[in-house]
Amino acid sequence: MMLLDIPPLAFSGSGLHFSHRLLDWSDLEQVLAFRRDIFADIAPHFRVRIPPVDDVLTDELKWCDKHLRLPGVTIGVFDDNRLIAYASVLLSVGKGVTDVSQLLGFNEQDLQRSAELSSCMVDKHFRGLGLQASLLRWRIELATKHERSLFIGMTACGNSYSLGNMLGTGMTIRWVGQIAPDRWFQGLMLDTQSHSQVCWSDTLSADWQDFAAQFELLGRGYEGVSIDFLEGVLNPEQYRIRFSKREASNT
């Protein structure tokens, strides 16, 4: 049985008084209710899956089975006793045709050292406090402790906060496409084994909604590396994504 080595979780915002602990099957009701509330506010094109109404509970139970038990690890953040955020990492990643590992073209060796930063939700009253950013760092640290060095994840195109936070960890956009009609997603990856130092060159940019341009740049070996807000002002509707080429490094 896998023994979990759990790193400490530090919140980046000062004065944050939240508590945290790993979630397990005994938290099922609270997790189901939390996800239901968040989904009620998420636009359909931001969702990975939208099960038919009759299948919602079955689909959610499947999600919990995958994420509240090893090799899934989910941490919950609490304000007093109220769950206000969670984040999940899968220490063993899926190999299905729609799994991000397959979209990124992983082979067996890649899969063995991969961890998927599979889900994060923050209660709308606690957003913008740096919780997702802290929880991303924590999940990478936890998976690193368990010999994972290839980190992958997906975000819906247009989810600028999530994309900015993922790029902030050093992940880069490696894939863009539709996972279902009109649901465009980006696949991101960070390989901590192959590069200790990366040099980027030849920077170009594409509008966040110009998926054809992003696809074309990725096909030419560019990676999406950062967000460029118009005139430096954070506007989730108006931004471009910078794409650069990775230069061979001798480190």
User: Which residues of this chain interact with ligand COA, rule CB under 6 A?
Assistant: 38, 42, 46, 120-122, 127-133, 155, 159, 161-162, 164-165, 234
Spatial distance between the Cα atoms of 160 and 238, rounded to a whole number of angstroms: 10
DSSP 249: -
* Least separation in angstroms between CB 158 and ligand COA: 10
Closest to ligand COA by CB, 233 or 248: 233
Question: Using N-to-C axis directions, what is the helix angle for 56-67 and 28-39, rounded to 10°?
Answer: 120
Nearer Cβ to ligand COA, position 216 or 229?
229
Q: Please say which residue, 44 or 221, places its beta carbon nearer to ligand COA.
A: 44
C-alpha distance from residue 65 to each of 22, 57, 73, 138 (Å): 14, 12, 11, 22
User: Do the bridges between strand 82-90 and strand 72-79 make them parallel or antiparallel, or are there none, so unpaired?
Assistant: antiparallel
User: Closest Cα partner for 153 from 113, 111, 115?
Assistant: 115
Q: Tell me whether residue 135 or residue 150 sits nearer to ligand COA (CB atom).
A: 135
In the complex, what is the shortest distance from the CB of residue 117 to ligand COA, in angstroms, rounded to a whole number? 8
Written as six digits, the tokens of 170 are 């050093």
Least distance to ligand COA from the beta carbon of 248, Å?
30
User: In the complex with ligand COA, which residue's Cβ is closer, 75 or 131?
Assistant: 131
Token look-up 């471009």 returns 240
Q: How far is the CB of 85 from ligand COA (least distance, A)?
A: 7
Minimum distance of ligand COA from residue 133's CB (angstroms)? 4
